[in-house]
Structure 1
Amino acid sequence: MKRAWPLTLRGTGALVLALACFALASELGIVELLYFGVLLTAVLVVSVAVLYGTSRADGVTRSLHPDVSSVGRESAVSAHVTLRTSLPTSSAVWRDTVPSGLRGEATGAFPALGSGLRGAGSGGTRTAELTYRLTGARRGVHSIGPMTVSSSDPFGLARRTLVFSARTAVTVAPAVIDLPPLADFSGESGGMLQTTTEQLGQGADNLVARPYVPGDSMRRIHWRATAHRDELMVRQEEQESRPEATVVLDRSALRWAAEAKTHPGVDPGFEAAVSLCVSAVARLVYDGYSVDVIDADGAVLAEQLDGADAADVEGLVTQFATLTTRRDDQLPTLRRVFAGVMSGPVVLIVGRFDAADAESVAPVAAHSALALLFAASPIGDALRHASESGWRAGSIDPDDLGGAWAAAVGRGVSRVS
């Protein structure tokens, strides 16, 4: 915010002293006091004129690395601040406004700049580069800014605050937790696992290349075959090397806090569920599964992710930065999504979960080679009932998602809290 009064406490005192000198010089007839008052006034006028008449804010641009932050992850921010100034500037103090969804200290000493009149083609501008670090605190899209630069004259009589109003949107994605692998359960997964990322280079000979046709994903281009045939070729995986998995995130607003419907990042339970969802997807993709991510009614939340494709996982995590709940309660209809089909691993993530819910989703477990269920707010013996119907059930602990995952995978039922 701009200062309405340009003088500092020292400058205000000097102004009061100058006015007192004028009054006393008139009352007492002391000419020297009049001269001293004029001198103080002149110094104050020059101080204000130098600060307010020689420079102005031109603009600020910010860049982040990485481009998308995530909860608990630190990002480096580089701010390029441009001033138009005709005189050299003294050092100042800068501060960038950090929203509540981010944590960090965005303040420091602003460097002294030379005159913008020097140097051909400068256009009277000088640029300073500032860096600081921020940590994602709450999922969602947040804006950094405005930035202020406060400077004073060499005598400390006047102060000016330049405001750079430009804001920069920062996307804070859900945290991805490293979950234990399902490698020990490949016999229950419904198919043979693909090779993991460290074996990707060795798996090319197991793929069949065919000519590219419109609609094929560019990620499937087989560059070695393309160079050999002098035409675009795409990878055609063998059917048995593409096991599939499904992750279901129940977004019913009735099962989560009311705020989760309109504002991402405010309901701890839903945030833990979203984090567990993207973490489970990342784990399954890394283990070689092609993963479908759906809502409880079968609505697709993201395009199918290919096994061992880290880029797909990053895209999903970014997409889920703004995910919220919805009004409809579709969990009782989940059985219809899997009716008549056999699936590989199924991961079901819900909020409030009672015995009636356990009964409604019981048939789904029979259609999955490995059925995992996680509830943020289980009621009574709901998890035990789910376990009896074939689910490996566990409660979501926001502080230990990895432990909840490992416990549910390793036992029929678990409560981790």
Structure 2
Amino acid sequence: MSRRVRRWWPFTVRGTGALLLAIAAFVIAQRAGIPELLYFATLMAALLVASGLALLLTRGAGTVTRTITPEVPEVGGAATVIVRAGLRSTLPSGPGRWSDALPAGVSGLAEGSSPATGSRLSGGAGGLHARYDIVGMRRGVHALGPFEIVTTDPFGLLRRRLALGRTTPVTIAPAMVELGALPAASGEAGGARQTTTLQLGQGADNLVARPYAPGDSMRRIHWRATAHRDTLMVRQEEQESSPAATVVLDRAASRWGPLALHAPGSDEAFETAVTACVSVVARLVHEGYTVDVVDSDGTLLTDPVDGGDDVEARVVAAGFASLRARADDAAPRVVPAAAAASAGPVIVITGALDADDRATLGSVAHHSALPVLLVVAERGELGRLHAGGWRAAVLPPGGDVAPAWDAALEQGYAGVGS
């Protein structure tokens, strides 16, 4: 019996046997004239009818809550789903099976056995705790559910499918690949890789002090200034500045396939570009850069990410779960004007480039301390880009970002003003 037939057929194996036995008993009793066998067939039929009435009177209902850990899994990453379902019914039901519908964006085995439930009249309403693992397959926001329980009557002859609760959205973020470190020498990265600390005054004893304010830490009390002024004083807070970097994700539709404009995860090349983008952001943030992520038209795709805030970098990746390509501008360009004029590192992630694009990019690299270009395409002509100072590499759609990143960093370097 196929899966589709089993879903339609209301009888269990025991119920199917009872039905066949009742039919056979009726036929044999009619032809052989055996009254006892007719009574038996009538009893079996009555038992099946009673089972059906019991299921109709059950009218099961319940609520479903799902907990997903981690809350935002990545493409290729695993997550655990814990389901808590409460089932209420007028009459008790026998053990059955549960299943949770999984969307195309995730994979896993979401089914198992469910225990018998008691009657609501006797205070025996039951609950079900289920657990299963999923793996993110496609970037986007998907829906888990509905949660379905297949219950049986107290005699175990008939089954009924109950869909409980609502669906639960699950966000699948783009995969974040660990990339190699930037050049170790500060001069290679524009001389500003390390976070700088600006202090007012010279030395710990000469720091500028200010009056104490509610909420200030007692550890910051400036005891010499306090004794001198006869009022509680605290040290001036340190001010930190981080070097800035820009990541350009070119979302112009002409660089990608038509599917990139529609559902996330549909275009392999664009998915590779998004993965490269969030991976580069994570690497730059880890190195201490404050990162701006912009589109090729200059649109800011997310709030600036502070240097050293690795958690915020993952928040950016989660926010890119539903990112899609966009329609082209009237005058499309690969690098926006603000990024082209930046003296800090500029990492550009784009699709297939034509001759005009390569000519435009040739003059941009000389303004940046670390110009990196990742071209997501099957092949690309990079000779002119290398000569123009870009650290450029071709990243095949669906390919590994890390080797392409390493290959780009190994290319020749063009410093500011070179």
Residue 364 to residue 331, structure 1, CA distance change in 2 (3 Å): farther
The answer for the alignment partner of 1:217 in structure 2 is none
- Return the alpha-carbon distance in structure 1 between the equivalents of residues 117 and 234 of structure 2: 54
Corresponding letter in the other structure for 2:408: A
Corresponding letter in the other structure for 1:384: G
The answer for the alignment partner of 2:62 in structure 1 is 58
The answer for the alignment partner of 2:269 in structure 1 is 269
Q: Any idea what the Cα deviations from partners look like across 1:84-108, whole Å, max 9, x if unmatched?
A: 0345543211111111100111111
SS in 2 for 1:266: coil
- Return the alpha-carbon distance in structure 1 between the equivalents of residues 71 and 336 of structure 2: 39
Query: In the TM superposition, what is the alpha-carbon distance from 1:151 to its structure 2 partner?
Result: 3.1
Q: Which has the higher strand share?
A: 1
- Root-mean-square deviation (Å): 3.3
Farther-moved stretch of structure 1 (110-119 vs 164-173)? 110-119
Query: In the TM superposition, what is the alpha-carbon distance from 1:268 to its structure 2 partner?
Result: 1.1
Q: Which runs of 5+ in 2 are unaligned?
A: 197-203, 223-231, 414-418
SS in 2 for 1:301: coil
CA contact (8 A) 1:376 1:395 kept: yes
* Correspondence list, 1:70-149, <5 A: 70-118=74-122, 125-149=125-149
CA contact (8 A) 2:93 2:153 kept: no
Query: In the TM superposition, what is the alpha-carbon distance from 1:377 to its structure 2 partner?
Result: 1.6
Task: Please say which structure displays the higher CA radius of gyration.
Answer: 2
Residue 363 to residue 235, structure 1, CA distance change in 2 (3 Å): farther
SS in 1 for 2:406: helix
- Return the alpha-carbon distance in structure 2 between the equivalents of residues 233 and 20 of structure 1: 96
* Correspondence list, 1:1-400, <5 A: 5-8=9-12, 10-22=14-26, 24-26=28-30, 28-54=32-58, 56-118=60-122, 125-153=125-153, 156-164=156-164, 166-194=166-194, 224=217, 237-238=239-240, 241-329=241-329, 331-332=332-333, 334=335, 336-338=337-339, 341-377=341-377, 380-381=380-381, 383-397=382-396, 398-400=398-400
SS in 2 for 1:274: helix
Query: In the TM superposition, what is the alpha-carbon distance from 1:362 to its structure 2 partner?
Result: 1.6
SS in 1 for 2:134: strand
Identical-residue share of aligned pairs (%) = 44
Farther-moved stretch of structure 1 (80-89 vs 306-315)? 80-89
Q: How many residues align?
A: 386
Query: In the TM superposition, what is the alpha-carbon distance from 1:281 to its structure 2 partner?
Result: 0.5
Corresponding letter in the other structure for 1:130: A
Corresponding letter in the other structure for 1:392: R
Query: In the TM superposition, what is the alpha-carbon distance from 1:81 to its structure 2 partner?
Result: 0.8
Query: In the TM superposition, what is the alpha-carbon distance from 1:35 to its structure 2 partner?
Result: 1.1
SS in 2 for 1:294: strand
Residue 10 to residue 92, structure 1, CA distance change in 2 (3 Å): closer
CA contact (8 A) 2:118 2:126 kept: yes
Residue 232 to residue 282, structure 1, CA distance change in 2 (3 Å): farther
